[in-house]
């Protein structure tokens, strides 16, 4: 699969899933009894934090492998993440 196809697919999924996510958070999920509506911020922030940590880890591992093996494949993997 070409890189443009992968990027386009990810972008289309983002455009579709983000409004759906906000709808589910603010219309479908019940309001927590003690914290109220403030608790809903966790639905977005926790998933974004996990995604950021996973992306950082993938780039870190690919960069270390590039430095150890001098293989341009790992450099391209780190660059595309």
Mark whether 47 and 60 lie in a shared domain.
yes
Task: For residue range 10-68, list pLDDT tens digits in order.
Answer: 788 889 988 998 898 889 988 888 988 888 888 888 888 988 898 899 889 989 999 99
Domain that holds residue 63: 32-81
pTM equals 0.65
Which residues lie below 8 Å from residue 75, measured CB to CB, with a gap of 6+? 62, 63, 66
Mark whether 5 and 42 lie in a shared domain.
no
C-alpha dihedral sign at 42, 46, 47, 49: positive
Q: Domains in the chain: how many in total?
A: 2
Mark whether 9 and 44 lie in a shared domain.
no
Mark whether 53 and 14 lie in a shared domain.
no
Mark whether 52 and 76 lie in a shared domain.
yes
């Amino acid at each position: 699969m070409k890189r443009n196809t992968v990027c386009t697919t990810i972008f289309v999924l983002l455009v579709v899933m983000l409004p759906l996510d906000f709808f589910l958070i603010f219309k479908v999920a019940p309001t927590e009894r003690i914290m109220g509506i403030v608790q809903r911020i966790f639905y977005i922030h926790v998933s974004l934090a996990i995604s950021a940590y996973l992306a950082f880890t993938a780039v870190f591992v690919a960069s270390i492998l590039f430095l150890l093996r001098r293989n341009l494949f790992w450099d391209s993997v780190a660059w595309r993440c």
